[in-house]
Structure 1
Amino acid sequence: MEKAASFLSSLLGGGGGDAVPAGDPAATVASILIYPIKSCRGVSVPQAPVTSFGFKWDRQWLVVNAKGRACTQRVEPKMALVEVELPPEAFDEDWQPTPDSCLVIRAPGMDPLKVPLAVERATLDDVSLWEWSGSAYDEGTEAAEWFSAYFGKPTRLVRFKEETEIRPTNPDYAQGYKITFTDCFPFLIASQGSLDALNELLKEPVTINRFRPNILVDGCHPYSEDLWKTLKINKLTFEGVKLCDRCKVPTVDPERGTFGTEPTETMLTFRSGEVIRPSHKNKQKVYFGQNLVCKESVSAKGKGRIIKVGDPVYVLQTYPSSNEAPA
């Protein structure tokens, strides 16, 4: 892996903790990706408002089994084939759903399912996702029958109950922030440069949807985002709180809904803890992307909290190296 070796200096090298001048953007927002249903396909949008939970509509819905446990691509790779669609205006800052507004869901061999956005629902108790358990809105019989038919076993669709439920982020990395049905943190950032560098090493290139970031940036060196401690996008302050260690989801082929071995097999040669975090444990974890929180999300609601494609990204503080970044 000669090419992999050539990346090591940038992977382990110094951001030195120096701030980038405010007038010199480190990158540009190339794509914004929202995943309304956890583990299903995302939607690319031109802009997204920032809420107290993350981007508006991100991981608002969850597919659960008969026991109320979350279903994800880790066990159900066919979830990668489930497409979702929201009204385009849903990503305007002040938009509110009308009685006719729907989340539209499609999958191979299935008729489209329309889930109303502004209908009162019953509550389903004992819903669980990782360490969290609580109540959620049940999206009803039609949705349950649709997902049960698709997966071939009893399944329901639920929506996060923002009014009463709280899922805090891991306080060891970020205190005072909350999430809906995301895994751990409200935002995930990755760069096109990182993806391009990875694809140079793969026999078959992969797309960014393997890694499911919310913010894809372009114009920076590969894996620069490892070192981003404080950044500004459209006057919003984001903190890089934890390198994203990857589970088996990146090995799911998003066009076939099947497991493989790549890109994890190749990433182990140059993106493992052993390589980029040699003084830490978890040597066999692989890392791609940086988890973020947004400082403004915890304060009272304000106007203008929105990220747009094309926004410059200003890096104000960096970690000295990947080895010293939290993970």
Structure 2
Amino acid sequence: MAEAYSGLVAATVRSLIVYPIKSCQGISLRRVPISSTGFRWDRQWLVVNSKGRAYTQRVEPRLALVGVELPSEAFSENWKPDKSSYLVIKAPGMSDLKVPLIRPTKTVDGVSVWEWSGSAVDEGAAAAEWFTSYLGKPSRLVRFNDASEVRNVDSNYAQGYKVMFADGYPFLLVSQGSMDALNSLLKEPVPVNRFRPNILVDGCEPFMEDVWAEIRINESTFRGVKLCSRCKVPTINQETAVAGPEPMETLLTFRSDKDLRQKNKSQKGKMYFGQNMVCSDSLNKGTGKMIKVGDPVFVLRTVASANDAPA
């Protein structure tokens, strides 16, 4: 299998999604520039509680209903915001919130997401009041403070790469073939937004992304560094914010570490869907390179099976 796919066009980019605010809705785009931390604007903002701890859909599923908009030109090469540039935030029952894209000056300490803590830029009273009203508990909106903070990915899987407020890695890739295989087993199919990928590809066999160790899209090289173990977020309907048992119950019947990683003796009941990736361009602080919908995906290097992929 590894030999057959080496250097061949294995798939095509079907969708590209950026999530400016962690755990809120994504923005689907035709083309996206690569930055030093993933796609430009991805997970640059975070909603936190009164102690600075991250809110995510795991504990606040209503974040799924929060929509975000950025100026279309914000994804153009070398674009910089001015005083008339805003992140627009929308949610049911709420008036629109406009957050200036020009960076505010106030920083706050003690912001934390998973294992990381540091300072962040506070987006001010209006944003705090909006999210406090929407969630019904003290909340603030903060922006990653890239002027002074660095959040590195796990060096056991990738050296030198960094993210803003993403869970762990700059990119998550999922294939439509995998989605179709899963949905064929479900009584009610689920959309791909349950899995929150950055890159959705089409044209390959189900779960081929498991074995992609290195791929090329346009002029950029991506490396598969870790199978994505899934939390409860895929059980949350992104249109209603209501959680249910699926698709996790079904995935656990054929995508658990017990099924996929029989050589690994430290099985912990994890379930995998999608591949976490890094891009070599990000090591150069982002080159302004773009990938776009319709780009072919060339597979340069594979492993033999999911059992041999890092996880």
TM-score, shorter chain, exceeding 0.5? yes
Counterpart position of 1:179: 163
Q: 1:236 aligns with which of 220, 224, 243?
A: 220
Counterpart position of 1:293: 278
Whole-Å separation in 2 of the counterparts to 1:247 and 1:149 = 27
Q: Which amino acid aligns with 1:254?
A: Q
Whole-Å separation in 2 of the counterparts to 1:75 and 1:282 = 26
Gap change, CA 1:298 and 1:263, over 3 Å in 2: same
Q: 1:53 aligns with which of 25, 30, 37?
A: 37
Q: Which amino acid aligns with 2:158?
A: A
- Superposed, 1:98-113 pairs within 5 Å as 98-113=82-97
Instruction: Give the unaligned 5+ runs of structure 1.
Output: 1-14
Counterpart position of 1:163: 147
2:14–2:201 Cα contact (<8 Å) kept: yes
Gap change, CA 1:299 and 1:102, over 3 Å in 2: same
Q: 1:227 aligns with which of 211, 214, 221?
A: 211
Q: Which amino acid aligns with 2:207?
A: Y
2:174–2:201 Cα contact (<8 Å) kept: yes
Secondary structure at 1:258's aligned position in 2? coil
The two structures have a TM-score, normalised by structure 1, of: 0.93
Whole-Å separation in 1 of the counterparts to 2:274 and 2:74 = 27
2:34–2:286 Cα contact (<8 Å) kept: no
Counterpart position of 2:25: 41
Runs of 4 or more consecutive aligned structure 1 residues displaced over 4 Å after TM superposition: none
Secondary structure at 2:287's aligned position in 1? coil
Q: 2:267 aligns with which of 282, 302, 313?
A: 282
- Note if 1:320 corresponds to 2:298: no
Whole-Å separation in 2 of the counterparts to 1:203 and 1:19 = 34
TM-superposed deviation, 1:282: 2.7
Whole-Å separation in 1 of the counterparts to 2:286 and 2:156 = 26
TM-superposed deviation, 1:310: 0.6
1:69–1:127 Cα contact (<8 Å) kept: yes
- Superposed, 1:59-208 pairs within 5 Å as 59-208=43-192
TM-superposed deviation, 1:20: 3.0
Whole-Å separation in 1 of the counterparts to 2:285 and 2:100 = 28
Whole-Å separation in 2 of the counterparts to 1:98 and 1:258 = 38
Aligned length: 310
1:121–1:140 Cα contact (<8 Å) kept: no
TM-superposed deviation, 1:119: 4.3
2:86–2:98 Cα contact (<8 Å) kept: yes
2:38–2:163 Cα contact (<8 Å) kept: yes
Secondary structure at 2:291's aligned position in 1? strand
TM-superposed deviation, 1:118: 1.1
Whole-Å separation in 2 of the counterparts to 1:144 and 1:296 = 35
Q: Which amino acid aligns with 2:19?
A: Y
Counterpart position of 1:6: none
Q: 1:302 aligns with which of 287, 296, 300?
A: 287
Secondary structure at 2:3's aligned position in 1? coil
Q: Which amino acid aligns with 2:271?
A: V
Q: 1:25 aligns with which of 9, 12, 22?
A: 9
TM-superposed deviation, 1:28: 0.4
Q: Which amino acid aligns with 2:72?
A: P
Deviation sequence 1:291-323 (CA, Å, 0-9, x none): 0001121125534x1111111000000011101
The two structures have a TM-score, normalised by structure 2, of: 0.97
Whole-Å separation in 2 of the counterparts to 1:214 and 1:137 = 24
Deviation sequence 1:40-60 (CA, Å, 0-9, x none): 011101111101111000000
Whole-Å separation in 2 of the counterparts to 1:302 and 1:30 = 23
Gap change, CA 1:185 and 1:246, over 3 Å in 2: same
Q: Which amino acid aligns with 1:324?
A: D
Instruction: Give the unaligned 5+ runs of structure 2.
Output: none
Indicate the RMSD between aligned Cα atoms, in angstroms: 1.1
Single out whichever of 270-279 and 130-139 deviates more from structure 2: 270-279
